[in-house]
Structure 1
Amino acid sequence: MKRQIEFYEHYFLEFYNSLDGKVKAKFQYVLDLIRQIEKVPEKFLKNFSGVDGLYEIRIEYQSNIYRIFCCFDKGNLVILFNAFQKKSQKTPKKEIDKAIKLMEEYFLNKQ
């Protein structure tokens, strides 16, 4: 395994638990790719522009688009923050702000 994935607080799991089985299976597929592949294609994992250290995991299922905000810690540890279903071209500001807040909290609480 190349990377380890952990959840910060309850935000990701609450969202994930609300999804139906087929969508969860797609989430698992993408998270397994991130765990196992050295260079993950940008289609699935991309640096979120404008916010240093913040990444987004990108999942598409049928015509639905989902995003999970995350960051890296100690190189191979991926910390998942909030997740949401994307309903427009632009990522909602409240989701970006929440991700930034959670990332700051995570690193602050780690010290």
Structure 2
Amino acid sequence: MNYIIEYFHARVLDEIESWPDGILADYARILELLMEFGPNLRMPHSRSMGGGIFEVRPRGREGIGRAFYCFQIGQRIIILHAFIKKTQATPEQELKLARRRLKEVQNG
């Protein structure tokens, strides 16, 4: 059964749509895999960040993007936060924002 992709807020989708074409194309390809395989999608496309948060790992010649997501009941995937990665390590502030949004999703 396929999963459904939803966005935490329209601003998350706006951020992703502003990404460079190469990263955006890879993101779209990975999302198709994510909708098909759900929690079974692993590296190099997806990785667990702990606490119920996962990341989609698109890349292009222009750089690297990241989108944090979670799974919800009813085959739903919620994209919580997205950004263009500028350093080797994932900035802690980006992960904190995704964790706050996950709590909001879980608490209704």
TM-score of the pair, normalised by structure 2? 0.86
Displacement after TM superposition at 1:23 (Å): 3.0
- Does residue 17 of structure 2 align to residue 17 of structure 1? yes
Unaligned runs of 5+ in 2: none
Q: RMSD of the alignment, in Å?
A: 1.8
Give the number of aligned pairs.
Answer: 107
Unaligned runs of 5+ in 1: none
| 8 A Cα contact 2:24 2:58, kept in partner | no
Q: Deviations over 1:60-94 (max 9, x none)?
A: 11251111011111163111011011111211111
Q: Alpha-carbon deviation of 1:21? A: 3.5
Q: Which residue of 1 aligns with 2:68?
A: 69
C-alpha displacement of 1:40: 1.5
CA contact (8 A) 1:11 1:81 kept: no
- Distance, in Å, in 1 between the alignment partners of 2:70 and 2:48 is 9
Aligned to 2:3: 3
| Contact kept in structure 2, 1:11 and 1:83, CA below 8 Å | no
TM-score by length of 1: 0.84
Q: For the Cα contact (< 8 Å) 2:23–2:65, is it kept in 1? A: no
Distance 1:87 1:61 in 2: 13
Matched with 2:46 is 45
Distance 1:53 1:75, change over 3 A: farther
Please give the secondary structure, in 2, of the residue aligned with 1:12: helix
| Aligned-partner residue type, residue 44 of structure 1 | H
Q: Structure 1 CA distance, aligned partners of 2:74 and 2:53?
A: 14
Measure the CA separation in 2 of the matches of 1:12 and 1:27: 13
Deviation at 1:43, TM superposition (A): 0.8
SS of aligned partner of 1:37: helix
Residues 1:107 and 2:103 aligned together: no
